[in-house]
Structure 1
Amino acid sequence: MIWRDVVRPRLPVVERRRCDRHLREGEPSLDRDPVIPLVPMASGRLLVLVFLLHLAVSQRFASSSSSSSSPKVSLALYYETLCPYSANFIVNYLAKIFDDGLISIVDVDLVPYGNARIRNGTISCQHGPYECLLNTVEACAIDASPDLDQHFSFIYCVESLVLKRKYLEWESCFSETGVGSQAVSECYDNGHGQELELKYATQTDSLEPPHRYVPWVVVDGQPLYEDYENFEAYICKAYSGEPPEACSGLTVITNQEKESNGHVSYAGEMIRASTVVENDKMKIKMVI
């Protein structure tokens, strides 16, 4: 049977009359071109406004997508654990980028070695053997907990104790931050921590220009010298995407390299340091 042999049902008389009435009144039927009613002027304006709004949102989304795809700015901090100025920078400056949202455009590299030196195969640290211990502990924490939020919280905890002159209590930071004490202890005991410190020694000694003191802050390969506390402004300047709100009002000092203002620990000085806090300003007492 082919489709021509199929008997098509006839519409009831009532339905046929109804269709005939539509035709007589000029209403569209299946075999005539449909009549498209005109859109009232007010509705037309509304459609235009909706289109413009959609276009604006699309452009905003495209701009946001472009910004989020921009490469992050690299920030490297070369420091040593018992240097009060390094501790002060970590606790009172670097930690801010986790609160103001700037961390979203930054790759942070923490290098706990500082002004240490290798002599006869042994690492000597500027502030004594205990600094070597804590340098290695923080290196092991970074290695054992690669997630920045996690190992930075541990380092922040230890450096806060340094500022309070309570760094002998550093092991309490395991329970406070969730960094695994067993992994860090094994790293320290089995010699892997020493290997990490030797790697950091090579990384620090390869700096160009060479570091002269700590903290030594480098943004996208450029050292900030004495203006390191203004590091956020340099991050915002280096970022190629749409800057986050935290960048508002930040400016870069043109002459960034200047004479020391005393807020650094120079390389080549072997010192024993203790810190005191007076009027919210940190001072250092050095015993050569």
Structure 2
Amino acid sequence: MASGRVVVVFFFLLSFLCFAFFPVSSRKVSLALYYETLCPYCSDFITNNLVKIFDNGLITIVDLDLVPYGNSRLGSNNSIVCQHGPSECQLNTVEACAISAWPDAQEHLKFIYCIEHLVMEHRYDEWKSCSQQTGLDSTSVLDCYNSGYGEKLELQYAAQTDALQPPHTFVPWVVVDGKPLYDNYRNFEKYICQAYDGEPPKACEGQALTISQEMNSNQGDQVCHINDMTSSSATRKKNEMKKKSLI
């Protein structure tokens, strides 16, 4: 009987020591960005807001999921209609391939940042230069695109986007731990810090003050609404990407 108590005490002490010296790491906060490549507000958010979490260290507590599909729509035979036309369909697919080729968020965002920066400068047709600018070998991205695998990725993103609850009504559509931020999306860092259940990183200091100052800004018009399909929007046939090689 006494030996049984000793065993119980031993395991209690062992558990205490393990917890004290090897604490369980806190769960990362999920951050999902539903976007499309040629929406200027998506490009601005990626290049001027999202990229900051890689500089301030907030990425260490974030599980980032980029979904480049946005306000596109599925037509017959799994054709895709993009809000800003066929060039957007192409770049959505290229960025989907980049995410697949480089699963590490720091790598694929580097490439995507480069493309979206070119979008801001109305030079997105030069996107291939991002391989040289970032030092990333884009061979796997080109292979993904030209093989048609990128189109399969886009269909997966279509299903993921269409399954959103509540449904998205515009992009950029930012979701933190399953909760959409609506037109307050630029304040996403505050919500990440609030959702994190561990010791907050230094980047979380002062977030409440930042938010209170920014809450009065008019962000409602800084989105691409789902119903504002442009007249140049075009249907991309299911096998079109196989016929039009990027090389």
Matched, 1:71 2:27: yes
The alignment status of 1:224 with 2:186, answered yes or no, reads no
| Aligned partners of 1:78 and 1:215 also within 8 Å | yes
Could you say if the C-alpha distance between residues 157 and 214 of structure 1 is closer, same or farther in structure 2, counting changes exceeding 3 Å? same
Does 1 or 2 have the higher relative contact order (CA < 8 Å, sep 6+)?
2
Q: What is the deviation of 1:92?
A: 0.2
Corresponding pairs, count: 209
Equivalent residue in structure 2 for 1:110, among 63, 66, 69: 66
Letter in 1 for 2:170: Y
Deviations 1:35-89 (A, max 9, x none): xxxxxxxxxxxxxxxxxxxxxxxxxx959x64x7000000000000000000000
1:196 aligns with 2:196: no
Question: What does residue 271 of structure 1 align with?
Answer: 230
Q: Assess, with a 3 A threshold, how the Cα gap between structure 1 residues 88 and 260 changes in structure 2: closer, same or farther.
A: closer
In structure 2, what is the equivalent of residue 131 of structure 1? Answer: 88
* 8 Å contact kept, 1:139–1:193: yes
User: Within the alignment, does 1:96 sit opposite 2:65 as a pair?
Assistant: no
Residue type of the alignment partner of 1:81 = T
Distance 2:158 2:219 in 1: 24
- Aligned CA-pair RMSD: 2.3
Q: Which residue number corresponds to residue 7 of structure 2?
A: none
Could you list the structure 1 runs, at least 4 aligned residues long, displaced by more than 4 angstroms after superposition.
none
CA contact (8 A) 1:75 1:217 kept: yes
1:161 is matched with: 118
Q: How far is the alpha carbon of 1:100 from its aligned partner?
A: 0.7
Give the deviation of 1:268 after TM superposition. 2.1
Q: Secondary structure at the match of 2:207?
A: coil
SS at match of 1:170: helix
Give the drift of 1:180.
Answer: 2.4
1:216-269 deviations in whole A, cap 9, x for unaligned? Answer: 00000000001100000000000000111111111267xx9xx96210000022
Name the counterpart of 1:80.
Answer: 36
TM-score (norm 2): 0.80
**Which amino acid in the other structure matches residue 76 of structure 1?**
A
The aligned amino acid for 1:72 is K
Separation in 1, partners of 2:231, 2:142: 26
How far off its partner does 1:177 sit? 1.6
Distance 1:234 1:119, change over 3 A: same
| 2:144 corresponds to 1:187 | yes
Which structure has the greater CA radius of gyration?
1
Q: Distance in 2 between matches of 1:118 and 1:221?
A: 24
The whole-number CA distance in structure 1 between the counterparts of 2:178 and 2:225 is: 21
Q: SS where residue 90 of structure 1 aligns?
A: helix
Paired residues for 1:229-268 under 5 Å: 229-251=186-208, 261-268=220-227
Look up the SS of the partner of 1:171 in the other structure: helix
- Distance of aligned partners of 1:72 and 1:243 in 2 relative to their CA distance in 1, 3 Å threshold: same
